[in-house]
Chain A
Amino acid sequence: MLEQVTVFLENEKGRLSALTRVLADAGVNMYALTIAETSDYGLVRIVCDKPAQAVDALRSADMRAIVTKVLAVAVPNRPGGLADLLDAFEELDLNIEYGYCFSVHGDEAVDVLKVSDAPRACVALADKGYRLVDTADLA
């Protein structure tokens, strides 16, 4: 499982840059950042090298940040890579709350997914030959 940092931000000018500045000052390196946006607020989800330190730094800056465990799967960086993975989930009858992809190395992408039954998904995906990624693998 991958430790993702989730930050609650109001939809207001300057909040995202404030967030990234806090992480930069804390020496946190980000691999991926996505935003789930509503009209009032956004949830910023971050994959980085030091999730615990990132949360500490954000909380000291009066931001609401938590660590969330998500499923991260290495998939070949080619057309159909994600489609195959999602087929596997369909077979397992698991709900996906949200997901996003990023790529660290050229030949491989990482698909991040929040699913309803993570432990079952882990076992099933490993059986199918998928490689699961955690924070240490990204360094």
Chain B
Amino acid sequence: MKRPQDILTAPRAELEALQLEGVKKTVIKCYENVPFYHDLYDEAGFDPYAVTTLEDLQKAPFTTKQDLRDNYPFNMFAVPMEDVREIHMSSGTTGIATVGGYTEHDLDIWGDCFARGVWYADGGPQDVMHVCYGYGLFTGGLGAHYGGVKAGCTTIPMSAGNTERQIRVMREMGSTILCCTPSYAMHLADTALSMGIDPKKEFKLRVGIHGAEAFSDNFRKDLEDKIGYKVLDVYGLTETMGPGVAIECMEQNGLHLAEDHFYAEVIDPKTGEVLPDGEWGELVLTTIDREATPVVRYRTRDITRILPGECACGRTHRRIDRLHGRTDDMLIIRGVNVFPSQIEDVMKTFDQISSWYQIELTRKGHLDVVTLKVEPNPDFDFDEVRAIELLQRDMQERLKSALSVGIRVRIVEPRSIPRSEGKAVRVVDLRGDDC
């Protein structure tokens, strides 16, 4: 019998054929049912009936978050409201929220996508899934819930809050899979410890599926050590579905995209050009079989890259790297896109310096000059000028090869990098308005 997880190891050719069929249908469906897409394609001269390869999709204009906002609440819907079973909304921190609609089929594929996290962990009906993402308009709670139910887990809809009760339930009901934000997982572990409960001994947790927030590798390691389980990163957004668009497998080496439901491209956020695998850029998603609110080439503003090569787990769906911030953080230096996270990655490989930094942009004539200010760590043996010069030179070389742009490294005293609310002011642009 065919199981839903069989698609995860389908041959690439089969997957791509499925993607092409889905993308073709989505583009036509959007054009015929959503006035926004009708106008957009007519204006851009894009023929939705002329898509014959996945590459043809590159001719289609992008959809932005603003487009979704402009069509609040239901103008992006491609089905009659009688077919819509559920509504979710993204938090409208900057004004109007964006709305996602789900038909019965959409809810089913959502559960299927999130259930993959459970399947990656060889989980199923023997597991107890503890969901303490918030239930409500936010997609975290119900997305994880549908995934738990789909995978056959005993699913406990705890929702957020009341940490002590969470801990009691987790212990008494023997939860094995924890779904929540990574910071809440850490809070749960710390609270348990302060209650005299050692999560490693008294919890049965073996896997955490954590997302909706970025977390570092060190944070993950701390969390895994405290709870004694394995943490899988999950990615998603209300605009295309919710959590489950991509989830890490037990290799913890990139998140497998649900490629049978989403077609992913990575673009240069400035030019809109599609980038080859391995290059960092903005993730762009097209839904393949979403009925209520399909999107074509939706710009997520999330920075990642497609990891080249196959995953050691044997699944054929391509992986995206763990998110590297938002396009809003991107710097353009001498025409090259630079993400602060790329600089952080290089910095992490030098123990002589702390993680605080500041990027200063100045202009000398017509040339951008970038200075990275970093602080020495307390145990860095800087007694000889040579040691500092060597550090500067090594860092400059490493940055140059990682970013393809020259950055001057300056070692500064700890107090000279200002902290605001515990976070460093990372970029100071002194180039003036003409850039």
> What is A's interface to B at a CB cutoff of 8 Å?
4, 6, 8-10, 15, 36, 38, 40-41, 43, 45, 59, 62-64, 66, 68, 97-98, 114
Contact = CB atoms under 8 A, between A and B. Distances in A.
B413 A6 contact: no
A62 B416 CA distance: 10
Contacts of B380: 64, 66
B388 A98 contact: no
B385 interface: yes
Contact of B388 (A41, A59, A63, A97): A41
Contact of B378 (A41, A59, A68, A114): A59
B382 A6 contact: yes
B6 interface: no
B82 interface: no
Interface string B372-392: 000110111111111010000
B381 A8 contact: no
Interface string B414-428: 111000000000000
B411 A8 contact: yes
A33 to B, nearest CB: 15
B381 A66 contact: yes
B206 interface: no
A110 to B, nearest CB: 18
A66 B383 contact: yes
Contacts of B416: 10
Contacts of A41: 388, 411-412
B386 A43 contact: no
A10 B382 contact: no
Given A8-B376, A40-B410, A41-B388, A68 B383 contact: yes
Nearest to B386: A97
B22 to A, nearest CB: 56
Given A59-B378, A64-B376, A10 B412 contact: yes
27 contacts: A6-B383, A8-B388, A8-B411, A8-B413, A10-B416, A15-B413, A36-B385, A40-B410, A40-B411, A41-B412, A43-B388, A59-B378, A62-B415, A63-B413, A63-B414, A64-B375, A64-B376, A64-B380, A64-B413, A64-B414, A66-B379, A66-B380, A66-B382, A68-B381, A97-B384, A97-B386, A114-B384
Contacts, number: 52
A40 B382 CA distance: 14
Contacts of B413: 8-10, 15, 62-64
Contacts of B383: 4, 6, 43, 45, 66, 68, 114
A8 B412 CA distance: 8
Given A8-B411, A9-B413, A64-B414, A98 B384 contact: yes
A128 B411 CA distance: 41
A15, A40, A45 — most chain B CB neighbours (10 Å): A40
Contacts of A63: 413-414
Contacts of B414: 62-64
A8 B385 CA distance: 10
Closest 8 pairs (CB-CB, A-B)? A68-B383, A6-B383, A62-B415, A10-B413, A64-B376, A62-B414, A97-B384, A8-B382
Given A8-B376, A9-B413, A10-B412, A64 B385 contact: no
Nearest to A98: B384
B353 to A, nearest CB: 11
Nearest to A59: B378
A15 B414 CA distance: 13
Interface string B359-379: 000000000000000011011
A97 B416 CA distance: 29
Contacts of B382: 6, 8, 43, 64, 66
A113 to B, nearest CB: 13
A62 B417 CA distance: 12
Contacts of A36: 385
B226 to A, nearest CB: 29
A10 B382 CA distance: 13
A121 B386 CA distance: 21
A96 to B, nearest CB: 11
Nearest to A61: B415
Contacts of A68: 381, 383
Among B376, B379, B383, B410, residue most surrounded by chain A Cβ atoms (within 10 Å): B383
B378 to A, nearest CB: 7
Given A4-B383, A8-B382, A68-B383, 18 more contacts: A6-B383, A8-B376, A8-B388, A9-B413, A10-B412, A10-B413, A38-B385, A41-B388, A43-B388, A45-B383, A59-B378, A62-B414, A66-B381, A66-B382, A66-B383, A97-B386, A114-B383, A114-B384
